[in-house]
Amino acid sequence: MLARKWRPQTFADLVGQEHVVKALVNALQNDRLHHAYLFTGIRGVGKTTIARIFAKSLNCETGVTAEPCGECSVCTDISAGRFLDLIEVDAASNNGVDNTRELLENSHYAPTSGRYKVYLIDEVHMFSNSSFNALLKTLEEPPAHVKFILATTETKKLPATILSRCLQFNLKAMPDSLLAKHLDHILTQENIDFEPAALQYVARVAEGSVRDSLSLVEQMVSMGEGSVTSSVVEQMLGILSPQRITGLLETVARGEAAAAMEQVATMDEFAPDYRQMLADFLSILHQVAIVQLVPGARDTDANWGADSLGAISGLLTPEQVQLYYDICLQGQRDLSLAPFARDSFEMTLLRLLFFRQAVGDAEQPSAPDAEESSEASVSSSVSGATAVDDPGTQNRLTNSPQPQSAESLQIAKTVSEKLPKTDVNPQPSQAVDVTAVPASASNSPVNQDASNHAQDATRSTAAQITLTRANWLDVVEQLSLSGMAVELAANVGFLELNDGRLSLSIAERHEDLNRPNEQKRLQQSIAEYTGMPVSLDIVTTSHNSETLTEKREHIRQEALKSAEASIASDPLVQTLLDRVEGQVEKDSIQPLGTA
């Protein structure tokens, strides 16, 4: 058995518990030994192993040392489990008060062959209250030749009176990277073939337990006919390799729905844990968010690979990553409520695919197809606005139910406001609702010429828009932005525009919004809206010009005051307050149309 064969025999062999080893080694070298020690931590991290090495250090024939020889009769007997002065007690099966009393009575006798009598009580949290009470006095003042070592995985179940009498050492779960490296060393020494990717995933599944990881590896060696591969991991544990997980998420990030469903069908043959797959998605998205927003803050998770994380990071915007994380988290919560786990998992993938398309369409209005349709909508709107003065007809044009992009509506509004009205009033028979023109008619040469003329008028008019302090806030409301760029635009004020250089101000409390990427997006949006190139210069100041956020807050405050006044003067409210002798909570009042 690998776990027993590779159990550390000296402090130098221990991996991942340097903080505990350093404290014990210093105590042994400086003769500062305590009478009771408590080792805590999850299963398989070395609690019992450290206790046995400590017992060797105390009783080695070469003397009390931090480096037991491992060759004397004491060291070999402890390694073989037959040393009489190392009493190992399983508290789970010997938790009665009578067992504890018998144990304490024998503690007064001198060691048989060693220097110290060491009591190792494993899973000490299983003791009954009576057993703890019987142990207290001896644990506080044991005989000089007795050392107590307590081990537990449940520290919270121990009484405070026990904790106060021990030196407590918390053994950490082994990091995945260090555990995989440890497995690599063991399998290399054992001449067992393995794939590094398989060891990475075994380390992750073991959750920091060395013993669990070695048990899994030994089982895989038997199943894989002497080798440890990713395919063996998938077949034995029903756990998919990191390449499959990242590949599926990358497929979803590309928006390839059919390919994603095919991959799920292939994965289902391994009977995977779909909850774990969603947990893996959450881990990957967490790493992608770090790569995108805080590059270099930490090394990427070795389980997923820098190349895979980089590919997914390039396919999703930071906003989409946050949305994906929330969808996967909700999908994991709902998985237990679904009749079939695979169906619930596929529904989560479909949500990711749908919202990727929705968010992508909203953030990319300048795509070729969208641009063409946008220009077509603008042409219709402009031609209607310039050719028709009849108010009723203009209402039909403006309120047309046909879908138009947000960009086309903004440009149409700008053109309708800027273009001069014609002096010629058309006859009612000439008033044409362009939104109702059949598709076949729209392809005629006359309509094509009108559309081209409208587009040229739109571009020439847009080029004449000049930014001023007076129209700045109106322009900001019309910009096509998303994500953090919206917040940046809403919190900057107009200073001046000089030779194409636009100077803006931002308050000190909002200067974290002024990032290069967001500033670039704002600059591009302003240039597209005004029709002329501009360069941005955003200055941090304590006296900021009025911003869109402040304007909206002012409007909200005015609406709130009006709402409060309306409530105060309402006869029905006054009658109700008189009857119940109550009062209106002002914090509960919200103007209509606000959240």
Mean pLDDT of all residues belonging to the chain: 79
Mean pLDDT is lowest, of 65-69, 403-407, 556-560, 561-565, for 403-407
The answer for residues whose C-beta is within 8 angstroms of residue 172's C-beta and 6 or more apart is: 16, 17, 19, 41, 45, 208
Say which residue, 342 or 438, is predicted with more confidence. Answer: 342
Which pLDDT band holds residue 321 (cuts at 50, 70, 90)? very high
Q: Name which residue leads in pLDDT, 451 or 473.
A: 473
The CATH architecture assigned to 176-237 reads Orthogonal Bundle (1.10)
pLDDT, one tens digit per residue, over 11-37 is: 999 998 999 999 999 999 999 999 999
What percent of the chain shows pLDDT beyond 90?
Answer: 35
Mean pLDDT of 292-311: 71
SS3 535: strand
472-546 under CATH 3.40.50.300, yes or no: no
Whether the per-residue pLDDT at 487 is higher than 60: the answer is yes
Is 265's pLDDT higher than 60? Answer: yes
Q: How far apart are CA 315 and CA 254, in angstroms?
A: 7
Q: What is the pLDDT of residue 299?
A: 53
* Identity at 511, one-letter amino acid code: E
pLDDT value, residue 421: 45
pLDDT at 375: 44
pLDDT of residue 390: 43
The answer, yes or no, to whether residue 308 has pLDDT greater than 50, is yes
Structure tokens at 7: 């159990």
- DSSP one-letter code for 573: H
Indicate the pLDDT class of residue 8, thresholds 50, 70 and 90.
Answer: very high
Q: How confident is the model at residue 88, as a pLDDT?
A: 92
Q: Which residue has the higher pLDDT, 59 or 304?
A: 59
DSSP states along 382-415: HHHHHH---HHHHHHHHT--S---HHHHHHHHHH
- Most confident range (mean pLDDT) of 50-64, 226-240, 500-514, 518-532 is 50-64
Q: Is the pTM of this model over 0.95?
A: no
Q: Tell the CATH topology of 242-361.
A: Zinc Finger, Delta Prime; domain 3 (1.20.272)
pLDDT at 277 over 50: yes
**pLDDT of 534 higher than 60:** yes
pLDDT, mean of residues 302-331: 86
Q: Which residue has the higher pLDDT, 301 or 530?
A: 530
The HSE-up count of residue 482 (CA atoms within 13 Å, CB side) is: 13
Residue 478 has pLDDT above 60, yes or no: yes
Q: What is the pLDDT of residues 32-63, one digit of tens each?
A: 999 999 999 999 999 999 999 999 999 999 99
More confident: 58 or 238: 58
**Angstrom distances, CA of residue 198 to CA of 174, 215, 228, 237, 543:** 17, 14, 7, 12, 59
Predicted pLDDT at 19: 93
| Residue 496 β-bridge partners | 503
Q: pLDDT at position 59, please?
A: 94
**Alpha-carbon span 325 to 260, nearest angstrom:** 18
pLDDT of residue 197: 81
pLDDT band at 358 (very low <50, low <70, confident <90, very high): low
* Mean pLDDT confidence for 181-208: 89
pLDDT at 64: 92
For residues 571-585, average pLDDT: 77
Three-state secondary structure call for residue 471: coil
Question: Which range has the top average pLDDT, 427-436, 510-519, 537-546?
Answer: 510-519
DSSP 236-256: HH----HHHHHHHHHHHHHT-
Report the pLDDT averaged over residues 481-491: 85
**Per-residue pLDDT, 242:** 78
pLDDT single digits (tens) 363-422: 554 444 444 444 444 344 434 433 344 444 344 333 434 444 444 444 344 434 444 444
What is the model's pLDDT at position 498?
83
**What's the rounded mean pLDDT across residues 168-178?**
91
Token reading at 95:
């938790």
Is the pLDDT at 109 greater than 70? The verdict is yes
At 85, the pLDDT band (50, 70, 90 cuts) reads very high
* Neighbouring-strand partners of residue 503: 496, 537
Whether residue 310 is predicted with pLDDT greater than 70 in this model: the reply is yes
Instruction: Tell me the CATH number for domain 2-170.
Output: 3.40.50.300
